[in-house]
Structure 1
Amino acid sequence: MAEACEINLGRGDQENDLIRRGDRAPLAIMADRASAVLVGQACGNALGVGYEFKTPPLAGIPRMLGAEDRLESGEWSENTQLAICLAEVAVTGIDLTTEEGLDAITSRYLAWYQGGTRKIDAPTRVVLETTVNDISNMNPARKIRSAAAYFHIRTRRTSGSGPLSRCAILGLTRIKDPQWTAESVRAVTELTNVDSLASEAAIIYAEAIRRAVIDPLPGDESWASRINLGSGIALLAPSRREQWREWLQQAEETYFQPPRDNTYAVPALQAVAGILRAVKIEHRENPVSGQDAFRRAVSLAVQLGGATDSIAGLVGALFAAGIGLAQVPTDLQKWLHGWPGLKVDALAEMGVGTALAGVVGARGMAQMITSAASLTDLIAAHPDAHLDSWVTPEP
């Protein structure tokens, strides 16, 4: 019999906690965790791309093999590429719940797509291609939503894991405000995927990222308490919460046999929950560092089979948010590279920049960017500060 479930399922006081202002980690610690999110995702992607849909799945330890002639060893996949598109917009501090913010994201998606991408899931490809061919006078966000709605009417297959696989960075966009974060995630997800399952899964996952980054528990040894799924259920419509509690609890109880069909939003998030449960149980029996937990988690994600780059990327970002950049294995980081010609340092800067931009807003971020001080310098000057006292958001 499986041990009692540990996922925070968002009941009672846990729901009220989502709207309370609790303690947060000092700025330097939060910055380390935020800077790790895209790096952790990229590590998982780069490990998983060489093993996608292999039969049988990998039984051993994964290596960064690349993917035939489309991705080199250590090169991240389209999930991280699209996450970078989101980060490039979010780092400006623009409100992603506005049409202006969504227009910016849509334009970045289209530029990426027209730039010669070599792989993307079929539903997203159809939506982007339809949008490219739309010669109407509608604004970009309205065009892509129209294309997504038409695809949904035709196929009813828009609950894929694509938005979930690229949304980790969205957990940092309004890091002080869970409701605003959730609204941003929903708005961005609905650009390409109409089915509410896609946005619900993304909201739950992004909230787990946000909470891991701001959690006040210090130290590497506390990673198991910091990394959790389920608190974001309270951000969903009341009528949807019990169903998601059941799905995540089911994943916990069957962690030793996680779902194999992980290309859709629900089983993909269940796969993450099952892997998290397995690593925590192993940790309870034989405690390991955050770095070792990260290795084990991404290995399990690849060994699961199916959409290995997506699941390993999801697991990598979540664990990285809890352990911080300093604990993401350096032997994995050193090989990373990818579109649009970036390496680890740039991914790390995007992560911490997105977190800060969500606090100071577009005007404050513009001032930071044009000032002489770098983000690293600003954080170093205020390492023990907290977000509430360090900066004031735009009205």
Structure 2
Amino acid sequence: MVQHDRSAGVLLGMACGDALGAGFAYAGPLPPTAPVGMRGGGGANWARGEWTDYTALAIPVARAAADGLDLRDESTLDLIAAEWVDWANTAPYAGHQLDAALSGPDPTAAAVRSAARERHDSVGRSAGNGCLIRTAPVALAFLHDPGALAAAARGLSELTHCETDAGDACVLWGLAIRHTILTGELDLRVGLGTLSPGRRQLWSARIDHAELRQPRDFTRNGWVVQALQGAWSAIVHTRDVSDTEEDAGQYRLGVEAAVRGGGNTDAVAGIAGALLAARWGLAAVPSEWRRLVQGWPGLRGADLVRLSVLAAHSQDTNEAGERESFRLHAVK
């Protein structure tokens, strides 16, 4: 089934984009013909094929979704927050906002949310791109309930990033992934109707701007708005204009274009990678990247595919046994 193939590739496509960009972070922009490959390095000296904190923070969300938990429930957010705090104890630096939110002694959602708000109030902003990639599993968990998807994506964002821009970006990206899986159409505007009229107009203009510019033009892509704009620009400017149903390397072209844009290349390529995999499916992710990709907490590409499948079927009661077996396998 085409939709099954698309949903199965989302987390893998995201992680491969993230890992590809890791070795090029802050080294661009690069010329359009510059070769891009898995090379490791970057600010945290990532291993070749290793995903960064962006994908790592998505893993607890995906696990919760795969276990059939409601991502809107505070009890579920408590479990996710506890795993994030555990990750943060040994993780490389992940940005001021995340470090502030996850460094406290109380690993509950309420405590994380409170610490994030305190940091936001002290500096006046909290719309870094660290909130966005981790919401990809939300799209999988609520494929058939866009309203619940939007609520869960915003709630998950607000655990650590208080600005409206952050929540809006997560809602728009999550609904775009859902729409692409279900229809095969790439459309970042599909979620605009969920925003208030003023926010809808603002984001419509931002998407228009992304389509008129190149990824390298979004030099502030540590900001969630420009990270999403850069990713969408990369997709739009490499999209197959023939509208064929065959993958002509569109996934690879898109994520490589995102990396060549420079700046937060791991984030931008990961954002683009999830959407492109939702369009072109699992097989579109290059086999070399699928073999190499790996990261916290000791997972590999095949584990991400399995998580995607389980998250996308998280409301099916006959998946309960398989969800439990993944949990046991993943924590060994």
Aligned-residue offset at 1:288? 9.3
**Is 2:19 aligned against 1:46?**
yes
Tell me how far apart the structure 1 counterparts of residues 232 and 69 of structure 2 sit (CA, whole Å): 31
Deviation at 1:105, TM superposition (A): 1.2
Counterpart check, 1:284 vs 2:241: yes
Residue type of the alignment partner of 2:256:
S
Which residue, 55, 75, 78 being the options, matches 2:53?
78
Q: Which amino acid aligns with 2:200?
A: R
1:258 maps to 217
* Structure 1 contact 234–241 (Cα < 8 Å) conserved: yes
Contact 1:168 1:317 (8 Å CA) reproduced: yes
Aligned partners of 1:255 and 1:277 also within 8 Å: no
Following superposition, the deviation at residue 340 of structure 1 comes to: 1.3
Contact kept? 1:290, 1:323, Cα under 8 Å: yes
Q: Are the equivalent residues in 2 in contact too, given 1:58–1:305 (CA < 8 A)? A: no
The question of whether the paired residues in 2 share the 8 Å contact of 1:70 and 1:118 is answered with no
Matched position secondary structure for 2:237: helix
In 2, Cα distance between the equivalents of 1:333 and 1:159?
Answer: 31
How far off is 1:70 after superposition?
3.2
Deviations 1:13-60 (A, max 9, x none): xxxxxxxxxxxxxxx322211110111011111111111111554651
Which residue matches 1:193?
A: 161
What displacement does 1:305 show?
0.2
Q: Distance in 2 between matches of 1:95 and 1:364?
A: 17
1:366 maps to 320
Hey, what's the Cα distance between the residues in 2 that align with 1:257 and 1:307? 11
Structure 1 unaligned residues grouped into runs of 5+: 1-27, 218-225, 372-395
Structure 2 residue corresponding to 1:233, chosen from 192, 197, 206: 192
Q: 1:172 to 1:259 in 2, by over 3 A?
A: same
Q: Whole-Å Cα distance in 2 between the matches of residues 73 and 111 of structure 1?
A: 24
Amino acid at match of 1:31: H
Larger of the two Rg values belongs to structure:
1
Contact kept, 8 Å, 1:256 with 1:278, in 2: the verdict is: no
Following superposition, the deviation at residue 290 of structure 1 comes to: 2.3
Alpha-carbon separation, structure 2, partners of 1:122 and 1:57: 27
| Percentage of identical aligned residues | 32
**Where does residue 138 of structure 2 map in the other structure?**
170
Report what 1:179 is aligned to.
147
Give the 3-state SS of the residue equivalent to 1:39 in structure 2: helix
2:10 is aligned to 37
Q: Matched residue of 1:202: which SS?
A: helix
Is contact 1:64–1:74 with CA below 8 Å preserved after alignment?
yes
**What pairs up with 1:1-395 in 2 under 5 angstroms?**
28-54=1-27, 57=30, 60-67=34-41, 70-114=45-89, 116-129=90-103, 131-132=104-105, 134=106, 140-215=108-183, 226-255=185-214, 258-280=217-239, 283-284=240-241, 289-290=246-247, 292-357=249-314, 359-360=315-316, 365-369=319-323
Q: CA deviation at 1:110?
A: 1.1
How many residues are paired up?
Answer: 323
Taking only aligned residues, the RMSD between alpha carbons, in angstroms, comes to: 2.1
Give TM-score, length-normalised by structure 2. 0.91
Deviation digits for residues 197-238 of structure 1 (CA, Å, limit 9, x no counterpart): 0010110001111111122x5xxxxxxxx2221111112223
Contact 1:302 1:312 in 2 (8 A): yes
